[in-house]
Structure 1
Amino acid sequence: MILLYSQSAVMAKTKSIKNSIVTFNPHLFPQFLYLFSPKNQPRNSQLCSAPSMRTLIFFLTFLLAAILCCVAMNPFLNTPSLSLISGTASYSPLFLASLSSVFLDPVAADNNDAPVSLTTTAMVPLPPRSVAGNASEFWEQPDGEGYRPCLDFSLNYRRRSSKIAKEKTRFLVVVVSGGLFQIRNQIVDAVVIARILEAALVFPVLHGDDSEEFSEIFDVEYFRKTLKADIRVVSSLPTTHLVSWQSLENQIPHNVQPFWIRARFLKKLNEEGSLVLTGLDSKLSKNLPPDLQKLRCKVAFHALKFAKSIRELGNRIARRMWIEGPYVAIPLINKEQQSRNALEAARVLKESGAPTNARVYIASSESIGDDGSILPLKAEFPNVVTKEMLARDDELDQYRNKTLILTAIDYIVSLSSDVFVPSYDGHMVRALQGHRAYVGHRKFVTKWRDFKGQPEARGRRTDRDVIAYPVPECMCKH
């Protein structure tokens, strides 16, 4: 789990960075004060022995040390500045967590015994950078208009949670399938349905061409712990509740509301003690009561953390990309459409004012070869890289046929990009759109509208998912 570091811890870590303008050694500070202590001055020196002068010297020394520390951190901070008077900062918890992830591997900081906090997310991106010069406007991040995550559940929701979280007689099993983000959306809705039915949720069953299990893709214990205040999550059905797979339910229409779920399944669940559902993809209404919308965000942005091995590799590749400077992430789909999408991405980048030397990360579950499919993009922006180019030795070998895991790695690197430019409208694009908004409104540019990452309200449109548009249900002004 990503640990949220305090301001002092971040500053202490920052002093060791080689690229800092000024570094300050705290061990020299006592020695510096020692030079001004009375016992080291001449006995007859009235100037040095004056209490007011000693106080002034101490204050000036302390102020100098504070200024040096702030200067050392300056290259890494492009948000509101630190107050030297109060010693407090206006940085959001998410920004401080992203800053600390520059210096400390988030995976190494995992602590399964630590309590889950909603002040940060399961996956914290690396912080964006500011760039001077003609290209500064392209890399400039939106201000976010003051919107930050706020998952404040109602009093009634919290009252009912104490009973629902202890449910031991009724169990919901869901079978999910499709690509990584179709699976993600189905898991989000499965948690919501379990809450609606007041049932315990069994770890979802992944069904498809890949052989991955839920525990291979996601951190199961973190998932369970994050949702323990909302529903009970168990690893398997108890032996008293075994069911046959012939009882799969898949007659769920589109855009169903909570009352339909209760009317259709509650009686069966009460009689048999267990229910198996499949075919959940995009079936639950996008417009749910506020508490259930917040629950969706809690699952998507907090509970669904990738498994440790995936995060380790994804974070390493993201750092290799990040350390060289700001970069753009562009997702491409199958080879049949890569050339057309690459051409469209090049057009959007040019119209957005991207410099020709901009570094571009191509996110694709299919390997990008020398077949010329991305030549239209490379012709305009030659600094194109992929995870295969950034990976070292045999880092990707064990995942060659694991499409879901390869997609997850691309997602981690894309989440940390300074600018995101989708070349198509799909599940991964919408997932990154919402996640980048939730972690600080990271800039993205689309071909469909002039949208640069500023908060865009979901509204009541039935085709807009709160996971892609977390404002205003899951984010509010602070």
Structure 2
Amino acid sequence: MARGRTIKNPFISLTPRSLCQLISVSPLTSLFSSKKTSPSHFIFILSFVVSFTFLGISILRFFPSSQDSIHCSIVSPSPPSSQSLPTFSSSHSQIILAALLAGINSYNENEPRLGSSAMVPLPVHVGSGNLSEEEREFWQQPHGNGYRPCLEFSIGYRKKSARISGEKNRFLVVVAAGGLNQQRNQIIDAVVIARILEASLVVPILQVNLIWEDESEFSDLYDVEHFKRTLRADVRVVSSLPSTHLMAKQTIANQIPYNLSPLWIRARFFKRLSQDGVLVLGGLDSKLSKNLPPDLQKLRCKVAFHALRFSRPILQLGNQLARRMWIEGPYIALHLRLEKDVWVRTGCLTGLGPEYDKIITEIRKSQPQYLTGRVNMNHTQRRLSGLCPLNALEMARFLKSLGAPRSARLYIAGGEPFGGTRALQQLAAEFPHLVRKEMLAHEEELSPFLNSSSALSAIDYIVSFNSDIFIPSHGGNMGRALLGHRAYMGHRKCIRPNKRTMLPFFEDPSISEEEFRKIIRALHNKSLKPEPSKKERAKDVIAFPLPECMCRHGTGVY
């Protein structure tokens, strides 16, 4: 989003003394203080004051008490081409206003409010022009049923915050492993665990990724100062251990069971942390329980959607690429996950032919430890169980069945597909307006990030976050993160392929193309006419922020 100049707070705080001074010099005061004021004159003045007061009240009542009532009229910028752009409706005006405010305050806020700390997407486009009913329905966005971000912590939580945020004796160090979004989940849980243990959190250490050879540090990927400021009412975050704790016992605790509860964490680590002063945790991936007390669930959302803001260089380039996509009209972001390592780990066939499948099979045999789960299943069983990414042909048929027009522009998120352009050939044949970040960015823009797979993934995340529709072909951490982030920031449409149910129909030659399309649309009816998805038990609040982090009433975030 475009940045603006720093704008000072327009609301001036008046002290009682300054208020009295203003009253003392007002015209009304001089009238009242006149010794020669007649009774009729006095009644006139009193009537004037009463009328003025009622006028002021009426003006205040005219303005909405919350931004739910604000409606902005936005003029869509003209694209370079002559093609007319779809417009976007006033129902998204609250998010548009927040986007403008966030652009103004992105890097100049000393005490950020939650409303201006979030990454806010560009406005969605509403389909118009010569579209069929199916195409119009495809671009249609959910209305959200009035749900909006709402992080209202309990009184008990807030009472403890002053003591916990000032903690200077106990320090938690967390080592986060994996790719960008896997590490992101561990960082979120690290903040929650620090809160449970009433400890200061050292800025998490990112373990070198052996698969992608990525040596990025936290400060390379995220805005550290923003992270600290946003969480300072919840947990004290420091850049490094103080000198008084450098020689403390620092054994890494990485044999951690799954489904950790706050009670277990305190019983296992609190005494040890109080004695040693430092606790180092590793292997946190998906270990913390998905079902935490409401305040801790809200803290998760606060970290994920407000505190973890990408570093300025990443955010600037990601937003720039998103605007280049957005200016031409609506676009779909696809997270296909067709990289070589995904095919190795899933145990699936690529759909590119025997020579490519042979390469994957040989790598898998030499490195069997990378195969994830259900080792006894063959590739056909895995595919029909929904454990494989959709290949290019399957994704093309899926999009056509849902009503995506041939003119739709597709942004392909992710790394280089195994097989290169051949891997996307059948998709490009049906949807020729296919773009990747390497095509969208200038060479000099992307070059600083080429040695960091995490930074490239973050750029994909930003462009996908701003898309009108997001489709994750094979789940994963990025898919779940964007599902929740887009719901939290305006209920943006996300379509998750129901692979397990629909793939048998791909193999049935007796089904006509028209019947096939009806079946696929029926299976994804909820996605095509989406409503806010409420979190069920054991579902991650980061993917399903409703109802813990969103509400219809209350002060909300904006």
Matched residue, 2:126: 130
Matching residue's letter, 2:541: V
**Take 1:160 and 1:298, find their aligned partners in 2: how far apart are those partners?**
17
Distance apart, 1:114 and its partner CA: 3.7
CA–CA separation in structure 1 for the residues paired with 2:332 and 2:148: 24
Judged with a 3 Å threshold, the aligned counterparts in structure 2 of structure 1 residues 441 and 184 are, in CA distance, closer, same or farther, namely same
Determine if contact 1:360/1:383 at 8 Å carries over to the other structure.
yes
Q: How does 1:74-473 map to 2 (within 5 A)?
A: 77-80=88-91, 91-92=93-94, 94-98=95-99, 106=103, 109-132=105-128, 133-134=131-132, 135-209=135-209, 210-243=214-247, 247-336=251-340, 337=343, 340-366=390-416, 370-448=420-498, 450=524, 451-452=526-527, 453-460=530-537, 462=538, 464-473=539-548
Preserved CA contact (<8 Å) 2:147 2:550 = yes
The answer for unaligned runs of 5 or more in structure 1 is 6-68, 81-89
- Determine if contact 1:243/1:274 at 8 Å carries over to the other structure: no
- Other-structure match for 1:21: none
Please list the CA deviations of residues 60-89 of structure 1 after superposition, one character each: whole Å capped at 9, or x if unmatched: xxxxxxxxx987748854024xxxxxxxxx
Structure 2 Cα separation of the partners of residues 159 and 149 of structure 1? 22
Distance 2:117 2:145 in 1: 20
Partner of residue 14, structure 1: none
State how far apart, in whole Å, the 2-side matches of 1:211 and 1:125 are: 29
- C-alpha change, 1:432 and 1:243, in structure 2 (3 Å) is farther
SS in structure 1 opposite 2:111? coil
Residues 258 and 71 of structure 1, relative CA distance in 2, 3 Å threshold: closer
Over 3 Å counting, the alpha-carbon distance change for 1:348 and 1:162 in structure 2 is same
1:378-401 CA distance string (max 9 Å, x none): 121111000000011311112112
Please state which structure has a larger fraction of its residues in helix.
2
Counterpart code for 1:141? Q
The CA deviation at 1:99 is 5.7
Kept in 2, the 8 Å contact 1:2–1:97? The answer is no
Q: Which moved more, 1:367-376 or 1:305-314?
A: 367-376
SS at match of 2:90: coil
Q: Whole-Å Cα distance in 2 between the matches of residues 257 and 356 of structure 1?
A: 49
Moved more, 141-150 or 367-376: 367-376
Q: 1:264 to 1:76 in 2, by over 3 A?
A: same
Higher gyration radius (CA): 2
SS at match of 2:279: strand
Letter in structure 1 aligned against 2:126:
S
Question: What are the equivalent positions in structure 2 for 1:33-52 lying under 5 Å apart?
Answer: none
Q: Which SS does the other structure have where 1:372 is aligned?
A: helix
TM-score, normalisation: structure 1: 0.78
**TM-aligned CA distance change 1:423 to 1:245, over 3 Å:** farther
Is the 2:339–2:415 Cα contact (8 Å) retained in structure 1? no
Shift in Å at residue 343 of structure 1?
A: 2.8
Shift of residue 109 of structure 1?
Answer: 4.7
User: Cα gap change, 1:166/1:427 in structure 2, threshold over 3 Å: closer, same or farther?
Assistant: same
Q: 1:253 & 1:247 partners in 2: Cα distance?
A: 17
Secondary structure of 2:445's aligned partner: coil
Runs of 4+ deviating beyond 6 Å: 1-5, 69-72
| Aligned alpha-carbon RMSD (Å) | 2.5
Q: Secondary structure at the match of 2:138?
A: helix
Distance (whole Å) between structure 1 residues aligned to residue 264 and residue 192 of structure 2? 13
Cα distance between partner residues in 1 of 2:160 and 2:243: 27
Report what 1:48 is aligned to.
Answer: none
1:432 is aligned with what amino acid?
Answer: L
Distance 2:112 2:72 in 1: 31
Cα contact 1:329–1:361 (8 A) shared by 2? yes
AA aligned to 1:174 is: V
Q: Which AA in structure 1 matches 2:545? A: P
Task: State the Cα distance separating 1:213 from its structure 2 match.
Answer: 0.6
Hey, what's the Cα distance between the residues in 1 that align with 2:121 and 2:333? 13
* Residue 344 of structure 1: how far off its partner (Å): 3.1
- Structure 2 distance, partners of 1:395, 1:3, is 18
Question: How many aligned residue pairs are there?
Answer: 399
Determine the C-alpha separation between the residues in 2 that align with 1:201 and 1:3.
Answer: 31
CA distance in 2 between counterparts of 1:378 and 1:4 reads 38
Please give the secondary structure, in 2, of the residue aligned with 1:420: strand
Pick which of 369-378 and 430-439 moved more: 369-378
Aligned mates of 1:126, 1:362 — CA distance in 2: 18
Check conservation: 1:126, 1:416, Cα contact below 8 A.
yes
CA distance in 2, matches of 1:205, 1:171: 14
Report deviation, 1:136: 2.1
Could you report, residue by residue, the CA deviation over 1:413-470 in whole angstroms, capped at 9, with x for unpaired residues? 000000111111110000010001000110111212624242111122x2x1000000
The 2-side partners of 1:346 and 1:252 are apart by 42
Moved more, 347-356 or 181-190: 347-356
Using the alignment, how far apart are the partners of 1:406 and 1:180 within structure 2? 9
Aligned-residue identity in percent: 55
Q: 1:368 to 1:305 in 2, by over 3 A?
A: farther
Deviations 1:156-177 (A, max 9, x none): 0000001001001110000001
Give how far 1:115 is off. 2.2
Deviations 1:109-157 (A, max 9, x none): 5334342122255211111011213232211111111111100000000
Residue deviations 1:321-359 (CA, integer Å, cap 9, x gap) = 111110000012243447643333223211211101100
SS of equivalent to 1:113? coil
Aligned amino acid, residue 117 of structure 1: R
Q: Which amino acid aligns with 1:218?
A: Y
**3-state SS of paired residue (2:443):** coil
Question: Deviation at 1:206?
Answer: 0.5
User: For each residue in 1:295-330, what CA deviation from the matched residue of structure 2 results, as whole angstroms up to 9, or x when unmatched?
Assistant: 000000000000000001111111111111100000
Secondary structure, counterpart of 1:163 in structure 2: helix
Do the aligned partners of 1:138 and 1:354 also contact (CA within 8 Å) in 2?
Answer: yes
